[in-house]
Chain A
Amino acid sequence: MFNAAFYQGMEAVVISTAALLLTLVGFGIFVTIFGVDPFDVYYILYLGGFGTQISIENTLTQAAPLMLTALCTAIPARAGLLVIGGEGALVVGGIATVLVGVHLSGLPPALGIVVMGLAGALAGGLWIGAAGALRQYRGVNETISTLLMNYIAIAILYHLVSGPIRDFDQVLKASSWSISETFMVGTVPGLDVHWGLAVGVVTCLVLFVVMRHTTFGFAVDILGGNQRTAQMAGLPINRMVILCCCIGGAGAGLAGTMEVIAVHGFASDSLVVGFGYAGILIAFLARQNPLAIILVAILLGGISASGGLMQRRFDLPDATTAVLQGMLFVMVLASNSLYGRLRFLQAREA
């Protein structure tokens, strides 16, 4: 007989696939209303997202930052918190990277990059960790606080780049000083995608192992499942909650670092493009599982990559992509209610 883990895995695969297919059917009906042949749309979705080398690189480039920001919601969620501060953590991560980066010009590039990565992760970790601490010690709702902290982070960024750390040589856009060109990381070998992808995948994999195969991960699952039980088991709840927040925030902070050292070279309002909010969506679609985050991020990356081609080929508005993403979100959330209810997917009682 198969074991319970197999059935759990099967259940997730079957339900997710069904939700995806239903979404595609619904979206097909939607575009038909606008006079576009749904099968053309499916083909373009495939072509633009996964059909050619360029498309795949496009998809992966879009997915890279989302993997990291999704962790900001996913890891605290495993401990039972709803954190939506990825946007802010990414921004403070980016700011910290620049602040540290501009002072490192003497260091060898490899070392400088590591230091900047640590700075970004630390800043993001402390940012969300503070929200966790506020919750544990002061009873401040973490959802509200992290949401509001997003605005604070963005305001700090705007303040810094329009004055204190502004590079006045960049006349068209309020931007910070740039980090040294030698600290910029290029693309992953063999693929025209920046290193943020590798960082995202590795971070997700590491956290998957940590959350799945360590006592810490197991303890967090107990805490997330039932706080009373965790209390009775004598788990250090405060410390665990704050640590989870720190880990999640560090993920988003790292996303900020990668935006700076792989894309822009400086901090500006280009850091505030919604990666943090998209990460929330991905964390939920992935059911807070770091391994699934990689796949879901790639799926959503593919949707937005092909969304561009869809606009160009059918002259559909960009919001069409948002409709598809919205449908997918609703379908997946609705399908969550099916877990444990489909008899043929349940492990037989021993």
Chain B
Amino acid sequence: MSINDSITRRRVLRHGGNIVAAGALFSMLPTMASAAKPITVGFIYVGPRQDFGWNQSHWDAAKLIAKMDNVKVVEQENVPETAEVEKVMQSMIELDGAEVIMATSFGYWKSILKMADKYPNVLFTHIGAIWKEGNPKNVIGYRGYMEEPHYLCGIAAGRMSKTGKIGFIGSKPLYFIFNNCNGYILGARSVNPNITCNVVITGDWNNPVKEAETTNSLIDQGCDVIIANVDSSKVAIETAERRGIYSCGYHSDCSSLAPKGFLTGAEWNWASAADFVEAWRTGGSYPNLLRGGFKRDMVKISPFGQAVPQNVRDEILMAKKGFIDDSLILYKGPLKDNEGNVILTEGQVIDNEDTKFKVGVRFFVEGAVGSTGLK
């Protein structure tokens, strides 16, 4: 019993100790009427929640938030980005009494705006961080800077690659995929300036067959570390493991998929939304728009795989510290794109929290072999 408890505790602490701590703190306060009021949080997923990917990263958060005091979580998976999601939200609000709706897919945005107007007493969160002045105040947009953990994955890849060639599989030609890829390459080149990265955009969020084919073809081209920015990188990681090369995870913890070749992975920490839930429950304040990387605890990396030696682990953790204290800057000059155009000149620095620059990124940095497909 106590062993079980301590395991759960340890896991909880590792993944989001601060939230649980916050919850515990609140529970220790003299019980005010408002603090004791239980709240129902509804999670809506666009796909299956056990996908070793995007949806699972939110499910992980749901599990942590469900552990908070006075919080009950209800979940629904496979909700398409159509009129259906509005009805699911309404059903959660009216039949389950949900007061917070965490809608975890980009395409839910319009529905969120509509429902937020209709239900001003319900808090809606969206993971796109595209809230702007004039949107309902009971909506929060938040999102982590995933290029930071990709940079750390890149360091692992740069150190572990023997061929000097790594691979990046992207889904859609979107700014954050470009940023992730750039982070990965910049990380790798920070430890091995000669490394190149073959980049393939599959065009689909979820196309396992294509992902497997792409992984195989990258391996055939000599890449020996891959990362896949798709809904679930399960297929890519398993293919890499079978072919005996290294892989990094994306979205959620994929370490169990590749016991031999897994290095680390870029993960979201959506559980940071626990603060919003607590604020909403107790009438506290909350931001309508929040972006952040390691500094704001909105992203994390997966547990290291056994293949990663201690000195590399230390190097990665040092870099992580660099993101936290701003001593490490992702985009800084001199920087060229992979077509030779100058992006930043010597001395130019883009703040790690410069969202405007990052949203406008439509290039791959030097070292990328491949094109964005955008003209």
Contacts and interface: CB of A to CB of B under 8 A. Distances in A.
A58 B79 contact: no
B109 to A, nearest CB: 8
Contacts, number: 99
A312 B75 contact: yes
B87 A312 contact: no
Given A172-B130, A305-B87, A312-B92, A273 B359 contact: no
A188 B343 CA distance: 52
Which range holds the interface residue count of chain B? 35 or more
Nearest to A268: B107
Interface string A265-294: 100111001100000000000000000000
Contact of B172 (A54, A174, A273, A304): A174
Contact of B80 (A55, A58, A273, A317): A273
Interface in A211-262: 259, 262
Given A158-B203, A172-B176, A270-B82, 20 more contacts: A48-B95, A52-B94, A54-B95, A58-B88, A61-B84, A61-B87, A64-B83, A162-B173, A162-B203, A163-B373, A174-B172, A194-B83, A268-B107, A273-B81, A273-B82, A308-B76, A309-B95, A311-B75, A311-B77, A315-B75
Interface in B63-119: 74-84, 86-88, 90-92, 94-96, 106-107, 109-110
A111 B76 CA distance: 39
A163 to B, nearest CB: 7
Interface in B181-214: 203-205
24 contacts: A47-B95, A52-B94, A54-B87, A57-B87, A58-B87, A58-B88, A58-B91, A61-B84, A61-B87, A65-B82, A158-B204, A163-B375, A172-B176, A173-B106, A194-B83, A259-B82, A270-B81, A273-B80, A304-B84, A305-B87, A312-B42, A312-B96, A317-B77, A318-B78
Nearest to B359: A171
Which range holds the interface residue count of chain A? 35 or more
A73 interface: no
Nearest to A271: B82
A171 B174 contact: yes
A312 B110 contact: no
B292 interface: no
Interface majority SS (helix, strand, loop, mixed), chain A: helix
B48 interface: yes
Interface in B34-74: 42, 48, 74
A174 B374 CA distance: 12
B23 interface: no
A308 to B, nearest CB: 5
B164 interface: no
A310 to B, nearest CB: 9
A162 B373 contact: yes
Contacts of B373: 162-163
B90 A308 contact: no
B333 to A, nearest CB: 24
Given A58-B91, A305-B91, A318 B83 contact: no
B323 interface: no
Nearest to B201: A162
A13 B342 CA distance: 72
Contact of B174 (A172, A304, A309): A172
Determine which residue in A58, A62, A172 has the highest number of CB atoms from chain B within 10 A of its CB, and name it: A172
A173 B174 contact: yes
Given A61-B83, A174-B173, A270 B94 contact: no
Nearest to B173: A162
Contacts of B130: 171-172
Contacts of B26: none
Contact of A174 (B75, B79, B174): B174
B106 A54 contact: no
A209 interface: no
